[in-house]
Structure 1
Amino acid sequence: MGKVNVCLKRSYITVATLIGIISALLLAITLFGHGVFHEQEEMLTGIIVMYVIAIVTLLLAIIGVFGACKKKKWALISFAVGMILLSLFMFLCEGRGLAMKPQMAEQLKQQYLHMGPLNNTSEEFIDRLEEAQMEFQCCGLDRGYVDWANDIPSSCMCTTESTNPCVAVKDGTHFERIMVYNESCLPYLIEENISAIDIMLGTMLGITLLWVVSVVLCILILCQLNQKEDTPAVVYSPEAKAGNYTTLTEPAEFT
């Protein structure tokens, strides 16, 4: 069994430990998400997949660190094979997620449009919409200020620092002309959700690349372990057998 480079071994243990920490955090997030979305059946499939990925990667990280510390080939091989399979699965999911982004945007649009008039929606959504109106300088959901009928909130009103176009309308409460944002908030809300999906896919890609790095380091360690360790050849000298020695000083003469 060959000798493993110390820097290579430490690098692999560091990366495998980092994978284990990330897996533990993912498992904790999954447990929290399971408690929040336990009543939504459409979320259960994704939660189960996250459970499997978090637990499997955590176990593989432990096995990999054990294999590197104890020089166990079976543990390192198990780590490499498991991480390769998980990496391929993650690349497949990420590619599918990128391909489905237009479909997700259309589904989000239909979901917002089916919420009905704003006066019949939940207070939570109304609060979120008013925050979006102030943040993105927009008004209403799909048809602009018309969605609010005669009850246009103050978050729709333009200010001196407004950069988006405004339009003058009559306030149904005070019967005064006010300036409100002309654009609706639906495109901004969809873009915000798509940006969140992009961040999630980017995070998944970064984690997957970390897995690939760990696989490369693991394979390098296995290659070094498979190398035969060079042992120096023993050379016998005939002069050593003959016992040819010389005295450095003359023996003292006894009187």
Structure 2
Amino acid sequence: MAGVSGCIKYSMFVFNFLFWLCGILILALAIWIRVSKDGQEFISKGESGMNPYVAVDILIAVGATIMILGFLGCCGAMRESRCMLLLFFIGLLLILLLQVAAGIVGATFKSESEHILNETLQKNVELLSGTDDNAKAFQNTLIKFQKEFQCCGLLNGAADWGTNYESCKCPDQSNTSCTIYEGQLVYKQILGLVFSMVLFCQIGNK
């Protein structure tokens, strides 16, 4: 029984340690976007009537929650603390209930949400080939993001830029984040986490 108990304990520690690291990464990314000039420019693009920082604040809260739960799980497992393990269980249960509630709401408004999402995606892709000031500002901000995160485009990678995908070219052939597009080595699609947050900000104007 001691072997089984030890196996469960260390397995839970490893799982929650990874959980804790994910929370730190999400929290760090959200804080960086919140305080960085480039991040603020990126999320404030569009005509949303809602505060664009609401999504960032939610991301900060999610990252902090995951980090705290991971810490409780790690320490609770290693110290065999019933109090920490109980708090960890309650936290996970609350998250599960919230997910179920969100799933019900999402299923109810699925068709409307898909329509809004498709319109928002297409609108942002069209900005990449635009020539007005708003489009140019969005393009310049996205180019900075692409260089920093070694990624490209919003929906279909380099294809989003049309023939003007110079900013997507990958100089390092050994880089695993690169792919072939029209015979050229380019970075892959942009980070889903960042773009999903931008979509959340812009959906508010529909």
User: For residue 107 of structure 1, what is the aligned residue in structure 2?
Assistant: 120
The letter for the 2-side match of 1:50 is: L
Give the whole-Å Cα distance in 2 for the aligned partners of 1:63 and 1:138.
45
Does 2:59 correspond to 1:46? Answer: no
The letter for the 1-side match of 2:10 is: R
Taking a change above 3 Å as real, the CA distance of residues 34 and 80 of structure 1, as seen in their structure-2 partners, is same
What is the TM-score of this pair, normalised by structure 2?
0.52
User: For residue 80 of structure 1, what is the aligned residue in structure 2?
Assistant: 89
Taking a change above 3 Å as real, the CA distance of residues 109 and 82 of structure 1, as seen in their structure-2 partners, is same
Give the whole-Å Cα distance in 2 for the aligned partners of 1:60 and 1:137.
39
Give the whole-Å Cα distance in 2 for the aligned partners of 1:119 and 1:51.
34
| Aligned length in residues | 147
Q: Between Structure 1 and Structure 2, whose CA radius of gyration is higher? A: 1
What is the TM-score of this pair, normalised by structure 1?
0.43
User: For residue 34 of structure 1, what is the aligned residue in structure 2?
Assistant: 34
Residue in structure 2 matching 1:55, options 61, 64, 73:
64
Over aligned residue pairs, what C-alpha RMSD do you find? Answer: 4.5
- Decide whether the 8 Å contact of 2:130 with 2:136 is kept in 1: no
Give secondary structure in 1 for the equivalent of 2:26: helix
Residue in structure 1 matching 2:132, options 89, 113, 120:
120
Identity of aligned residues (%): 14
1:6, CA displacement in angstroms?
1.0
> For structure 1, which runs of at least 5 residues remain unmatched after alignment?
141-152, 156-161, 163-191, 202-255
Give the whole-Å Cα distance in 1 for the aligned partners of 2:161 and 2:64.
44
Give the whole-Å Cα distance in 1 for the aligned partners of 2:62 and 2:83.
21
1:46, CA displacement in angstroms?
1.3
1:102, CA displacement in angstroms?
2.5
Give secondary structure in 1 for the equivalent of 2:31: helix
Q: Deviations along 1:95-154, whole A, 9 cap, x unmatched?
A: 7399323221123445677x7x944344355788xx98xx539969xxxxxxxxxxxx9x
Q: Deviations along 1:175-229, whole A, 9 cap, x unmatched?
A: xxxxxxxxxxxxxxxxx89x948x969xxxxxxxxxxxxxxxxxxxxxxxxxxxx
> For structure 2, which runs of at least 5 residues remain unmatched after alignment?
45-49, 143-151, 167-181, 183-188, 198-206
Give secondary structure in 2 for the equivalent of 1:5: helix
Matches within 5 A, 1:105-254: 105-109=118-122, 118-121=130-133, 122-124=135-137, 135-136=158-159, 196=192
User: For residue 211 of structure 1, what is the aligned residue in structure 2?
Assistant: none
User: For residue 9 of structure 2, what is the aligned residue in structure 1?
Assistant: 9
- Which protein is richer in helix relative to its size? 2
